[in-house]
Structures are given as structure tokens and as C-alpha cells.
Amino acid sequence: MRDLKKIMLFLLVGILLTFESCSNNDDTGGASNAPSGTLTAKIDGTSFQSMEISSSATIVDVGVNKNLVIIASNSDGNAFAITIFGYTGEGTYKLTGADLAVTNTSSYTETDVNLSNPTASTTEIWQAPYDNTEVGSVSISEETDTKVIGTFSFTGKNVNGDGSVKSITDGSFNLSK
């Protein structure tokens, strides 16, 4: 679990250093179906639910801009990381690579831990966006002093692996800040 946290922290830092901010705050998203403190989704139709202890939303104040960072993992070594740059509160934020200087990001990670040979463990990451098209969105329906609630969906591509694509649907979160 400690290695998974290190991997997620490394991904988060890399994402924050690589990209700028972008948002489309035209409407508020749909209601979340996730239990309090968790993130749920379907990955190619297979259900995912994070553990409350390893799921959170953080709003990072970077001067005039704010960023929303969501990290959620389960006991199988699978995780989501979502970053909204230029976060302004409730609304819908697109996941598009049309302008690489201002890109919100989302990723789904699967870690296969080899207990008999930990150095042979593998991690695969499906990320969005992966080209200049819109591949999903994140909608924030409620933000309070203590929580962030919303929904999301995206198509992610394993750009550094086998090039496979995963469809993330019915994403929902109800996370503590």
C-alpha cells in the first residue's frame, strides 16, 4: 500500500508540474451515487469502489488559481487520479487535449503486485486526455467546507503500455476535503 501511495503521489506531482489550468463552468453536474467518502465507477463494465481511508479531494491554492485533486484507490491496487486546473467550484470541466497548455487530466491505474518477487510487479495507467479530442468530463454538483461531490466519465488510453483503451462510465464521488 505504501508503494501505491508513492506511485499516486509521483503521478500527482508530475501532472501538476506538466499542465496549466482550464475549465468550463457552465452548469452543475448530476448527483453522486457514491457512498460517503468513496469514489465509484465502471471500468469497461466492471464495478470499482474505492476505500474511504485512501480516497480524498484536495483543493490546492496556487496563487490566483485553484486546482482540484482527487485521488481514490481500492485494496486491489487500482486507483483513480483526477486533476482540474483552474478549479472554480461547481460546474462541468472537460477532459480534452485540444490545448496542451490548459488540460484537465484523469487517469485509472492498475497495479499487479507480485508478492513472491516484488520487483516484478507491474503498473499500467490509462490516461485522459490522450489526444486533441474531448474524451470525457468531470462535473462537480456540490462543494462544502468538508466535502466535494460529483460525477465523471472518460475514455483512457494506456499510452506508455500496450495502447489499449478503457471506458470509464458511471463515475461518482462523495469525498472528504
pTM: 0.80
Predicted confidence (pLDDT) per residue in 98-154, tens digit: 876 668 999 999 999 889 998 999 999 999 999 889 999 999 999 999 999 999 999
Give the residue numbers spanning the domain of 12. 2-176
How many structural domains is the chain composed of?
1
Confidence of residue 29 (pLDDT cuts 50, 70, 90): very low
| 3-state DSSP of the chain | CHHHHHHHHHHHHHHHHHCCCCCECCCCCCCCCCCCCEEEEEECCEEEECCHHHEEEEEEEECCEEEEEEEEECCCCEEEEEEEECCCCCEEEEEECCCCCCCCEEEEEEEECCCCCHHHCEEEEEEECCCCCEEEEEEEEEECCCEEEEEEEEEEECCCCCCCEEEEEEEEEEEEC
